[in-house]
Structures are given as structure tokens and as C-alpha cells.
Structure 1
Amino acid sequence: MTVSRLVLPGAAVRTTLAATPSFDLEAVLSNIETMAAQQPIAAQLVSMADSDDTDARTLARTLASDVALAGRVMKLANSAYFGMRGRVTSLQIAVTVVGFPTVRTMATVALTGLGDELRLPEGFWGMSSCVALGAATLAPRFGERPQDALCLGLLAPLGVALLHHSDPEGYTELSAAEPTAAGRRAAEARRYGIHAHRLTAVALEQWGFPASMVTPLGAVDDHGDQDGALLRAALEIAARLTVEDHVPVPVEELTGGQLREDAVPPVLERVRAEADELRLAMLGE
């Protein structure tokens, strides 16, 4: 992957910016480009993991050049989620266990600066980990692969981090004023001309992520769109675990009846038990 792929075509960016003078989308994407240039191994992994010519051995060899990222992949492979605690002893096996999409996701987290909690909104990784585990746990009920759903959940909040990076004080005030996820997305759209999940979709699309990762982000607010049902359910699971005074939204409503409320308690229990370990693995702690 060349770094230039991270920038939207000029015309599309100018159209968005004309409607949102308070938010410079091109500058945000250019900042990601700069970060990618500073982390060439992570950028290379984002490209390699989607190539038909890449095998686990080749990916592991490149991953080994980034000690911090390699350590995170090893820690994740040995986590409770993958059921291999203590048994993964090489990077090649770790890559095979977590899967290429997960390695790509972790590389994306690294090159966009999401590993630095000091630069993120409070509770960012607590929420992200719960969304990811909720999506992975529920994935079979929606005909999706758990590993793909885990990646979607981990990357979905990327736009939140990008908005916060560009407007720390303003975004903190916005978040405090809007306790619900739907209300916050509406406020983001008013302030920036784009909500966080749509911004994530824009970034992932530019990096060549598959439509299965991009489409749900654009469908998250349309309860009649089944493409966003799994992500909506995962966001609700995370909110119930992390948002104080959250008023639960029936999952039947969020998923068009694909998920019943009686299926939620065991999912909450698993996410509650494993989310912190996932958070620590993603942060390399």
C-alpha cells in the first residue's frame, strides 16, 4: 500500500468541506497519511494482509520487524477469546490463530495512533473492546464470521478518535451533552458534517477494506437496514456495560427481530468477562 491511498480524491473532499467549514476532512486524512509514513511496517501490513500473495510465514516475517505490534498480536492470540492461552509460541502460529483480517486491523490501530490512550476520549478502549466482543459473539446469529465481526467492532470507533484528535475540547463537550449513541451521531453530523461511523467508513474504504467492513457503518442508523443489524446490536451490548444510566433499547427493534432479548444476558456475561483482556492486548499492556 502506498501512503497516497489514504487520501480521498480531491473533488470528493472539497464537496464535503464546503458543507462543513468547521471540520477539515482533508486535513484529518492527511494527518493519517503522516502517521502512516512514520510507521511503515504497520502501513505495509495493512496492504499485505489483503494480498492473495501473502501467506502466514511472510506476514509473520514482516510483523516481526515491529516489536510492539508483534507483541500485541502474540498477546491477543494467547487471550481467552481465541482459547489458546499460553499455547501460541511463534508469530507465524499467532498470525494463523488470529487471522489475516485481525492482523490488518491491529496494524490499522497502530498506524492511526489508537494505541495511545492519552490522546483518546475517556473510556474509548473500554467501549471499543465491548463492541468488538459483542459483535464477535453475536456474529453466527447474523450469518457472519466471528473474526470479521471482531475486526468491525474494533475499527468502528476509529472515527470517534479522529474527530476527537481534530477537536479535543469540542468533541469532549459534544460527548458529554449527548449520552446516547444515536444522539451523539446526530450531534457529530451537525457539528462536523459527518458522523464518526461514516468517517470510519470513509477511511476504511480508502484503505481498501472490503465492503463487508464498510457497509454496516453506513447502515447503523437505519433500523430497517439489515446490513447494520449486527453492529447496532453490538453497540447496544457495549452501551449496557459501559454507559452509566443507559436506557436499554430492545434488541428486537435494533435488529429487525433477528435477535431476541433473551439471547442478550449470556452475551453480556461473556463480554464483561473478556473485554478488559482484549483491551490490554490491543494496547500491548
Structure 2
Amino acid sequence: MNVVQYSIEPLLRVAQAFPATPRIMADLGRLLRDPGADLKDVVKLLKSDSALVARILRVANSAAIGAVEHVAAIEEAAALIGFREIHRLVGAVAIDQFSLATYPLYGVPGARLRANALFVALIMEELALTTRRDPHAAYTTGLLRSVGKLALEKLADPSARPFQPTPGADLVAWEKHTFGISANEATAAILHQWRFPAGICQAIARHFWPTDSGEPLADLLNLAASCTEQLGHGLPGEQRYWMESAAAFQRCGVDAEQCQRAVDRAALAFEQLSRMIG
């Protein structure tokens, strides 16, 4: 059985061709961590992506926001939506840009990928608030964890065989045979290139085996993805990597009731974001 030899250069070239919005999230995250930053800094950053500005203006004028008058400028839209809510919305727009495609090797329609990314991100955000961790870093980690899958699909040899999610199928083994690297490792490499914090990259790289990582975000990511699976929005082949609930709760510092409240709040936020982005 021939195993593909992995090279990082083609992977990063593919990632560079992706829409700019995910990369803007890295800079937006830095602004949110800067106590001296204000809405003007956010607006300046948003203006670097005209497609993103147009999308935010559509959201600001949608029924989901309920603006009394027409919003014509990004400055008005950002003020209406809110400094911190912009981060959540930009993330939703970023992942929505990938939902128009299908990913046949993974057996994932774009709409399913979007639902998974948003649910994992929003549950991560709520769990982070519960456990006194950075909710914006948690949201970003959950949202972008599957970016590597999207890049690897584009790099695949035409003869590559799709993953078969049969009982006992090993997704990571299939990825390494097919691409020479796992999707989680690919995501970490891409996000590192895009200048995301090391903690986010490491958490994604190791969240299938969080006990080996020493990165608290990896524990939260494993639990959030498991909860998303239970909601019916999982991705093929991933279920085998989720911790048992009791172990996950202990490692994350939550109990079953706290976790359920986080999931319930995330479900409400999911509906709100879905209405915003259409």
C-alpha cells in the first residue's frame, strides 16, 4: 500500500487561495485582546475585505438585526452590531464561504460542514465562558478546526478513494494514507501560516487526543465536537475520537448540567446567526 508523501508547500498554496475572511479573524482576535482597541480599529480591519463589508451591511439591514433606518456605511453597521458580536459574525461569514462547495472525499455537503463548524464554535464559546477561558479564542478554535479538510480535498490525487465511515473505520489513518497528513495537522499548519495564536493551532492539532496535548482548549474542543455529534451535526468518522462524557466533564471542569446549559445557549445563538447570514 503506497502512502502519499506530504509536503507543506502545496498545502499552504491552496490555503492562500482561500477567501481572506478567515485570515481577518486572526487580526480581529488580536484587537479583541487589546484593551486599547476600539470600534475604529475594527472598522479599518473590516474595510480590507470589500466582500466582507458588503456581507456585514446586508446583515445590518436584515430583519434579524431590526435596524430602524437603512444602514449604508460599515461604521454604522459595526456600531449597530457591536464590537464583540462582530467577531462572531465575521466567523460565521468565513465558514459560510466554504459551504457552497461539497467535499466528496469526506462525504460532507457544504451545509453540513457549516452547521458543524458553527455549533462546535458556539458550544466552545459557551464552555469557555463557563470555565473562565477566552471565549473568542474558543469560538475561533471551534469554527476553523476543519479548514484542513477543505485544503486536503483540493490537493487530493484524482484516484483518491473517499473515506468510508464504516464501524471501526480510522479517519486519521485514511487521511495519512490519502494525503500524507491528518486534517487536524493540516489545519494547524494553515492557521500558523495565517498568524493565529499557537494555543489555537495546538488545540486543533491534538483535539482527537486531548489527554496528550496539555492544552485546555483541546479538551474543550473535544467536548464541544462530541456535543455537536449528539445534536446530529457530526462529521463522518470523528465519533470514535470523542472522550466519554464523565472524563470530558472532569478534564474541562464542568458538570453535565453546565454542559447542557452551554449547549442550549449555543443552539439559540446558532438560530440567530443562521438568520443573520441566511
TM-score (norm 2): 0.70
Structure 2: tracts of 5 or more residues without a match? none
CA deviation vs aligned residue, 1:55-86 (integer Å, no higher than 9, x gap): 5314414524644312444677899xxxx943
> Could you say what secondary structure the match of 1:151 adopts?
helix
User: 1:5 corresponds to which residue?
Assistant: none
User: 1:156 corresponds to which residue?
Assistant: 145
Give the alignment of 1:34-73 within 5 angstroms: 34-35=17-18, 42=21, 45=24, 49=28, 50=30, 55-64=38-47, 66-73=49-56
Pair 1:136-2:125 in alignment = yes
Structure 1: tracts of 5 or more residues without a match? 1-18
* Alignment check: 8 A CA contact 2:188 2:202 kept: yes
> Could you say what secondary structure the match of 1:194 adopts?
coil
Amino acid at match of 1:127: N
Aligned residue among 104, 107, 115 for 1:126: 115
**CA spacing shift, 1:126–1:171, aligned 2, 3 Å:** farther
Using the TM superposition, give the Cα deviation of residue 26 of structure 1 relative to its aligned residue in structure 2, in angstroms. Answer: 1.9
Query: How far apart are the structure 1 equivalents of 2:98 and 2:121?
Result: 16
Using the TM superposition, give the Cα deviation of residue 273 of structure 1 relative to its aligned residue in structure 2, in angstroms. Answer: 3.5
Amino acid at match of 1:165: K
Aligned residue among 209, 224, 233 for 1:234: 224
Aligned residue among 57, 72, 91 for 2:77: 91
**CA spacing shift, 1:59–1:190, aligned 2, 3 Å:** same
Using the TM superposition, give the Cα deviation of residue 252 of structure 1 relative to its aligned residue in structure 2, in angstroms. Answer: 2.6
Amino acid at match of 1:201: A
Aligned residue among 225, 246, 253 for 1:252: 246
Query: How far apart are the structure 2 equivalents of 1:47 and 1:136?
Result: 16
CA deviation vs aligned residue, 1:80-100 (integer Å, no higher than 9, x gap): xxxx9436962342461336x
Using the TM superposition, give the Cα deviation of residue 147 of structure 1 relative to its aligned residue in structure 2, in angstroms. Answer: 2.2
> Could you say what secondary structure the match of 1:173 adopts?
coil
* Alignment check: 8 A CA contact 2:128 2:138 kept: yes
**CA spacing shift, 1:78–1:233, aligned 2, 3 Å:** farther
Query: How far apart are the structure 1 equivalents of 2:234 and 2:91?
Result: 25
Q: Where does structure 1 differ by over 6 angstroms across 4 or more consecutive aligned residues?
A: 51-54, 75-79, 168-172, 244-248
- Which has more helix, going by share of residues? 1
Aligned residue among 172, 175, 197 for 1:210: 197
* Alignment check: 8 A CA contact 1:251 1:260 kept: no
Query: How far apart are the structure 2 equivalents of 1:214 and 1:231?
Result: 12
**CA spacing shift, 1:220–1:60, aligned 2, 3 Å:** same
* Alignment check: 8 A CA contact 2:124 2:139 kept: yes
Query: How far apart are the structure 1 equivalents of 2:130 and 2:40?
Result: 33
Aligned residue among 151, 172, 180 for 1:185: 172
* Alignment check: 8 A CA contact 1:125 1:279 kept: no
* Alignment check: 8 A CA contact 1:178 1:187 kept: no
Using the TM superposition, give the Cα deviation of residue 263 of structure 1 relative to its aligned residue in structure 2, in angstroms. Answer: 3.1
Amino acid at match of 1:91: A
Query: How far apart are the structure 2 equivalents of 1:43 and 1:135?
Result: 18
Query: How far apart are the structure 2 equivalents of 1:74 and 1:168?
Result: 40
TM-score (norm 1): 0.68
Deviates more, 1:138-147 or 1:27-36: 27-36
Using the TM superposition, give the Cα deviation of residue 237 of structure 1 relative to its aligned residue in structure 2, in angstroms. Answer: 1.1
Query: How far apart are the structure 2 equivalents of 1:104 and 1:230?
Result: 22
Pair 1:166-2:155 in alignment = yes
**CA spacing shift, 1:66–1:219, aligned 2, 3 Å:** closer
Using the TM superposition, give the Cα deviation of residue 168 of structure 1 relative to its aligned residue in structure 2, in angstroms. Answer: 8.7
**CA spacing shift, 1:104–1:150, aligned 2, 3 Å:** same
Amino acid at match of 1:259: V
Query: How far apart are the structure 2 equivalents of 1:171 and 1:237?
Result: 31
Query: How far apart are the structure 2 equivalents of 1:125 and 1:102?
Result: 14
